[in-house]
Amino acid sequence: MTKQHDLKTFDDLSEKHSTWIINYCSTSFELPLFLVWYRDNDEASTTKLMTYKSGDIFAIDSLANFKTTIISEIEDLIVCDNIISWLDNFGNLELVEGCDSHLM
């Protein structure tokens, strides 16, 4: 198993846990929104956006305090093991949104 110190970048962490931060820009919003897109560890490896149990999509307008915000709202969110491991291994890595074409 790869340990946190083997992860050199946030991209490494995201790839390892199949969980990415996506930057969503729209003329409907003054600021971009950041979403969490992940591959569930279900049988079909379904890709999903992180949502609240109410069905609303989790979105935040800044990467500052990103992890803290998720953790403070975790009881209301639908999360899988990939997301929990991803959060547990953030460490001091610089958060970046995913922009690779292979994510879509």
CA separation for the pair 90, 88 (Å, rounded): 6
**Domain residue limits at 21:** 4-98
Domains identified in the chain, total number: 1
The structure's pTM equals: 0.81
Q: Identify the pLDDT of residue 98.
A: 59
Question: Looking at the domain assignment, is residue 87 inside a domain?
Answer: yes
Look at residues 79, 78, 76 and name the one whose alpha carbon lies nearest to residue 88: 79
Domain membership of residue 42 (yes or no) is yes
Position 103 in a domain = no
Report yes or no on 21 lying in a domain. yes
Least confident segment among 8-12, 31-35, 49-53, 91-95? 91-95
